[in-house]
Chain A
Amino acid sequence: MSSFDYLPGMQEIDSDSLPRVQALLREFSPETCTEENVRAALACSAPSIADFAALLSPAALPLLEEIAQAAQAQTRRWHGNSVGLYTPLYIANYCENHCSYCGFSCHQDITRTKLSMEDLRRRAEEIAATGLQEILLLTGESRSESSVDYIAQAIALLHNYFPAIGIEIYPLNCDEYATLQQAGADYVSVYQETYDPVLYDKVHVQGPKRCYPYRFYAQERALLGGMRGVSFGALLGLGDWRRDIFAAGLHAYFTQRKHPQAEIAFSLPRMRPHSRVSERELTQAMLALRLLMPQAGIAISTRERPALRDAAVRLAATKMSAGVRTSVSEQDDPQFTIADSRSVSEIHDMLKNNGLQPVYLDYV
C-alpha cells in the first residue's frame, strides 16, 4: 500500500490544500534566501509566503534578535500578555501504528493500558484540584482499544471538571469529530510528524497512520465536524525541520483561508533527548510562525527545559502545559521524557514574575 492510498472507511473531502502545500514545498529553497529577503520580510506588515520562507532560511539566523522583537510585538498586539495553561491527560496508550520514532509504537515493549471511567474520574479530580480548567486528552492510535465511543464517554465525564477540552487522538471522519464535539471537546491536535512524503512513507511502517492525506486533512474534517480550533505541527528533527515548518505553516494558512472562523494553533515538539534541531533553530521556527499567523496560538512543550519555555512565552508562545505526566498512570512508560516538571503553581508564579497573565479559561 502506498502512503497516499486511503483505507476503507477513511473519508475523503473536497480540498486542494494538500497539492497546494506540496507544490510550494517543492519550490521551497531556503538556502537561496538572502539577508535582503529577510529584511524585506521584517519590513512588511503582513508577510507573504515568500517572506515566511525567508524568515525560516539560514540567512535569517544572524537577524534572529530583530525577528524576535518583531514577533514579540505581534504577540503582544494579538494576545496581550496572556498565557493559557493546560495539562495533557493520557487515557490510553494502545497503538496500531508502527512508527519508527515513537515510544508508544505498536512494536515497543511497554505496558499497554487504558483508564476505566472510575480511574479517569480520580485523575480528573486530581488535576482539577490544581486549578486547571483546560485539558488535552490523549490516546495512542488504536481504534479497537480506544474507540470513538470510549473517547466520547471520557470527554463527557471530563467535561464535568474541565470546560475546555482538546483531543490528540487518531484522525477521524467528520461525523466522528461531530460526535466528540457534542460530547464536549472543542479543539483537535493532529501532527503530520513530517510533511516529506518519502520520509513519511519510510517511518510509518505499518498501520492506518501510513495514509498521509487522511492525516493531512484531519484538521479540515474536524472543522467540518464543528470543532472550534485545530492545531498543526511536525515532529522537529524527524525530517528537515525548515521544510516541515514551512509546510506546517502553509497547511494552517490554507486551512484558515478555507475556514476563516477556525482558531489556529501550532505546536513544535522536538525529538528528544538528542535533537538535530538546536534551540536557536526551534526559536527561529516559532518566530517565523508567529509572523506568518500572528493570531495563532503557539504551545511550548515540556520536552523543553524551563529556561527555554520561559523565554518562549516572553516572545511568541501563548500556551503552556504544567504539572505534566506523559504516561497513562504513574507506573507506566511515558510517551516521551519531559524536561520541565514544574507544577501548575510554579508555572503560575513564573508567568507572574515575568509580567505575564496566566489564563485558566478562555472558553464559554
Chain B
Amino acid sequence: MDDIFELGGKAFASRFILGSGKFSLPLVQAVTEQGGAQMITLALRRANAGGQENILDFIPPDVTIIPNTSGARDAEEAVRIARLARALGCGDFVKVEIMRDTRYLLPENAETIHATEILATEGFAVLPYVYPDLAVARALKAAGAAAVMPLGAPIGSNKGLLTREFIEILVREIDLPILVDAGIGRPSHACEAMELGCAAVMCNTAVATAGDPAVMARAFKLAIEAGRAAYLARPGRVLEHGAEASSPLTGFLDE
C-alpha cells in the first residue's frame, strides 16, 4: 500500500523531517541518506550563501529544503526572513519559528499566527512551530497554515512527548497534518508520535548529538515507519483494568 505524505502541494514517501542544526556539515549527507529523509530544515541565519561552510552545499539535491525563521523575535522579522529565504531560492516552504525567550526557546504563539497569515497570503507553505494549543491550532488553520508543528518538549531536551495529551487533541480536531517538532529524543518517542496519528516527526538534537549520527538517523527512520504502520493498522484498545469478557453487559440478550 502506498502511503504518501502530502505537504504544501508536494508528495513525500518519508515522514522523517531532519533538522540540520548542530551538525558538522560533512555529516549532513550521510545522516540524510541513512535516515531516508526527504525534507530537511535549515536555519537561514546559518546558511552563509556564497560564503564558507555554506550548508546549502552539503544538502543532497533531491531533498526538499524547509528554511526556518530561527532568530525571529516577532512576526515582522519572521516574514522578512521567509522572504529572504525565497529570494535565495529555498522554495515556498517555511517553518515559522518565533521566539522571545533565549533561555528555553519556547515559541511565541500569537506572533506565529500573525506571521502565518501574512506568509500564507504570499503563497508560502507555512509550517508554524507552536505550543500544542487547540485554539491556536484552529487559528493557524484559518490563517492558511499547511500543517501545525507542536512541540513535544522543550527544544533540544530529548525528553520525548511531554505534551502527548494535547498533541492527541490536535490530531483529532485539526484537519491539517500534525508534525511533532522539538523534544523528540529517542526513536521510541518518534514511534509513539506516529502511532498517535501525527503525520511526520521532526528531529535534530537527538540525531546530531548521538554517538553515531548516521546510525541514529536510520534508527529514527525505522521507528517512524513502524509507528506509521501501527497507526494505519489501527491498534487494539488498551484495557485500563485487567481483562475483560467478550460481552459482559449484553450477554443476557443471548441467554
A residues in contact (CB < 8 Å) with B: 76-82, 131, 133, 228, 256, 260-264, 293, 295, 348, 352, 355-364
Minimum CB distance partner of A359 in chain B? B46
Question: A70: shortest Cβ distance to chain B, in Å?
Answer: 14
A362 to B44, CA, bound (A): 8
CA distance A358 to B55 in the complex (A): 11
A295 touches which of B21, B52, B84, B102 (Cβ 8 Å): B102
CB pair B45–A364 under 8 Å, yes or no, is yes
Please give, as numbers and ranges, the residues of chain B lying within 8 Å of A356 by CB-CB distance.
24
Task: Give the total of B residues in contact with A, Cβ under 8 Å.
Answer: 30
CB A35 to nearest CB in B, in angstroms, measures 29
Residue of B nearest to A77 (CB): B156
Report the minimum CB–CB distance from A295 to chain B (whole Å). Answer: 6
> Which 5 residue pairs spanning A and B have beta carbons closest together?
A80-B22, A361-B48, A261-B100, A131-B52, A260-B101
Q: Contacts A78-B156, A364-B44; is A264 near B51 (CB within 8 Å)?
A: no
Within 8 A of A (CB), among B136-193: 156-158
* Neighbouring B residues of A133 by C-beta, 8 Å: 48, 51
The reply to whether A362 and B100 contact each other, CB–CB distance below 8 Å, is no
With A and B bound together, what is the CA distance between A262 and B47 in angstroms?
Answer: 22
CB pair B102 A82 closer than 8 Å? no
| A348, A352, A357 pick with most chain B CB within 10 angstroms | A357
**Min CB distance, A249 to chain B, in Å?**
14
**Contact A79 B105, beta carbon cutoff 8 Å:** no
Cβ of B231 under 8 Å from chain A: no
**A256: which of B48, B102, B156, B205 is its contact (CB, 8 Å)?**
B102
* CA distance in complex: A364, B23 (Å): 20
Given A260-B102, A295-B103, A364-B81, 12 more pairs with CB closer than 8 A: A78-B156, A80-B208, A80-B209, A81-B24, A82-B46, A131-B52, A293-B103, A357-B23, A361-B45, A361-B51, A362-B71, A364-B71
Q: How far is the CA of A154 from the CA of B193 in the complex (A)?
A: 52
For A360, the chain B residues whose CB sits under 8 A away are 48, 51-53
**Contact partner, A364, options B22, B84, B209, Cβ 8 Å:** B84
Q: Cα distance A155–B25 when bound, in Å? A: 31
Cα distance, A279 to B19, chains bound together (Å): 36
Do A261 and B102 touch across chains, with their CB atoms under 8 A apart?
A: yes
CB-based contact A359/B71 at 8 Å:
no
| Distance A358 CA – B53 CA, assembled complex (angstroms) | 7
- A80-B208, A360-B51 given; A262·B46 CB < 8 A: no
Please indicate the chain B residues that have their CB under 8 angstroms from the CB of A260 in the complex.
100-103
Residues of A within 8 A of B51 (CB): 131, 133, 360-361
Q: Could you say which of B51, B80, B205 has the most chain A C-beta atoms within 10 Å of its C-beta?
A: B51
Residue of B nearest to A264 (CB): B102
A293 and B47 alpha carbons, distance in the complex (Å): 26
Closest partner residue, chain A, to B108 (CB atom): A261
| Residues in chain B near residue A262, CB distance under 8 A | 102
Question: A76-B209, A80-B209 are known contacts. Are A357 and B24 too (CB-CB below 8 A)?
Answer: yes
A85 → B minimal CB distance (Å): 9
Q: In whole angstroms, what is the CA distance A80 to B20 when docked?
A: 10
Chain A nearest CB, measured from B86 CB (Å): 13
Nearest-neighbor residue (CB-CB) of A345 within chain B = B52
Q: B52, A358: Cβ atoms under 8 Å?
A: yes
Nearest A residue to B71 via CB reads A364
Q: Is the CB of B102 within 8 A of A357?
A: no
When the two chains form their complex, are residues A361 and B47 in contact, meaning their CB atoms are under 8 A apart?
yes
Cβ contact within 8 Å between A362 and B156: no
In the bound complex, do residue B45 and residue A362 qualify as a contact, i.e. CB atoms below 8 Å apart?
yes
Q: How far is the CA of A256 from the CA of B100 in the complex (A)?
A: 11
User: Does B114 sit within 8 A of A, measured CB to CB?
Assistant: no
Q: How far does the alpha carbon of A199 sit from the alpha carbon of B103 in the complex, in Å?
A: 32
- B100: which A residues are within 8 A, CB to CB? 260-261
B45 touches A363 (CB 8 A): yes
* 30 pairs of residues in contact across A and B, judged by CB atoms under 8 Å: A76-B22, A77-B157, A77-B205, A77-B209, A79-B22, A80-B23, A80-B209, A81-B208, A82-B22, A131-B51, A133-B48, A228-B73, A260-B101, A260-B103, A261-B102, A352-B24, A356-B24, A357-B23, A357-B53, A358-B52, A360-B51, A361-B45, A362-B45, A362-B46, A363-B45, A363-B71, A364-B44, A364-B45, A364-B47, A364-B71
B217 CB to closest chain A CB, in angstroms? 15
Contacts of B52 in A (CB 8 A): 131, 348, 358, 360
Which of chain A's residues have a CB closer than 8 A to the CB of B205?
Answer: 77, 80
Highest count of chain A CB atoms <10 Å: which of B22, B100, B157, B205: B22
What's the least CB distance linking B131 to chain A, in Å?
Answer: 16
Give the distance in Å from the alpha carbon of A89 to the alpha carbon of B105 in the complex. 31
The complex places the Cα of A86 from the Cα of B38 at a distance, in Å, of 34
Q: Give 1 or 0 for each of B87-109: 1 = CB within 8 Å of chain A CB.
A: 00000000000011111010000
Task: Given A360-B53, A364-B71, answer yes or no on A80-B48 (Cβ-Cβ < 8 Å).
Answer: no
- C-alpha spacing A263/B98, complex, angstroms: 14
Min CB gap B75→A, angstroms: 14
Residue among A261, A263, A358 with most chain B CB within 10 A: A261
Is B48 touching A261 in the complex (CB atoms < 8 A)? no
* CB <8 Å contact, A256 and B25: no
Contact A256 B45 (CB under 8 A): no
How far apart are the CA atoms of A348 and B24 in the complex, in Å?
12
In angstroms, Cα B104 to Cα A293, docked, is 11
Most B CB contacts (10 A, CB to CB) among A77, A80, A348, A355 go to: A80
Nearest-neighbor residue (CB-CB) of A363 within chain B: B45
Query: Which of B48, B80, B205 neighbours the largest number of chain A CB atoms within 10 Å of its CB?
Result: B48
B46 in contact with A361 (CB, 8 Å)? yes
**Which residues in A have their C-beta under 8 angstroms from that of B99?**
261
